[in-house]
Amino acid sequence: MVGVLVKYFLTQVLHFSHSDFMTAVRVDLGPLLGDTGLWVLKTYQDRQADKGNDDKKKKARTAIDLVTKYLESGFDVLGNEKKYHSANRYSPKKLPA
């Protein structure tokens, strides 16, 4: 289950607009928003680094940063759209296509 959520997070949620991202975090991604999810994402990042897949490693690093910000301050930082776009390199504002 957690692996499916990681795949969903990295392939879909990182590319969502702010409002859709907030909905996905509140509704879908509960199991990833803790120490276990953070560990799974770090393990995934290490695995991709070993395989030499830089794009997936960067996406995992961005997801780790977002989960860490959530663990530190809840929705205080991620709830602000400007701070969300500055933290997420894969948001539609930075990658419109």
Residue 95 has a pLDDT of 60
Residues of the chain with pLDDT under 70: 94-97
- Give the predicted TM-score (pTM) of the model: 0.87
**Separation of alpha carbons 5 and 72, rounded Å:** 21
In a domain, 17, yes or no: yes
Which among 25, 26, 32, 27 is positioned nearest to 1, based on CA atoms?
A: 32
Q: Is residue 13 part of a domain?
A: yes
Determine, yes or no, domain membership for 93: no
Range of the domain at 20: 2-87
pLDDT at 96: 59
Considering the domain boundaries, does residue 81 fall inside one? Answer: yes
The structural domain count of the chain equals 1
In a domain, 7, yes or no: yes
Residue 88 pLDDT:
87
